[in-house]
Amino acid sequence: MAITFHFYCSYQNELEYEVHGHPFIKRIEAYSECRFGLLEHQRKDFNGDADEFERIMVARQGGVLIRHVDKPYRDTPSYWEDHRWSQELYSAFVKWLDDEHAKYLVDHEQRRARSGYTEEEFPATEMRPIPRPMFFNPESKRYEVEPWFHSEPQSAESTALLCII
Answer whether 135's CB lies under 8 Å from 144's CB: yes
In sequence order, the 6+-apart residues with CB closer than 8 A to the CB of 146 are 84, 85, 90, 132, 133, 134, 135
- Strand pairing category for 161-162 and 128-129: antiparallel
pLDDT band at 60 (very low <50, low <70, confident <90, very high): confident
Q: Note the helical H segments in 9-155.
A: 38-45, 50-53, 77-81, 87-115
Number of domains present in the structure of the chain: 1
Please give the pLDDT value at position 152.
57
Query: pTM for the whole thing?
Result: 0.79
Which residue range forms the structural domain that includes residue 38?
4-162
Contact 18, 6 (CB under 8 A): yes
For residue 61, pLDDT beyond 70: yes
Look at residues 9, 127, 133 and name the one whose alpha carbon lies nearest to residue 60. Answer: 133
What is the model's pLDDT at position 77? 60
pLDDT tens, 71-82?
A: 766 655 677 788
Highest mean pLDDT (candidates 110-119, 125-134, 147-156): 110-119
Confidence of residue 1 (pLDDT cuts 50, 70, 90): low
Mean pLDDT over each residue of the chain, to the nearest integer: 82
List the 132-137 sheet strands across, edge first.
Answer: 4-11, 14-20, 25-31, 63-69, 132-137, 142-145
Name beta bridge partners: 68. 27
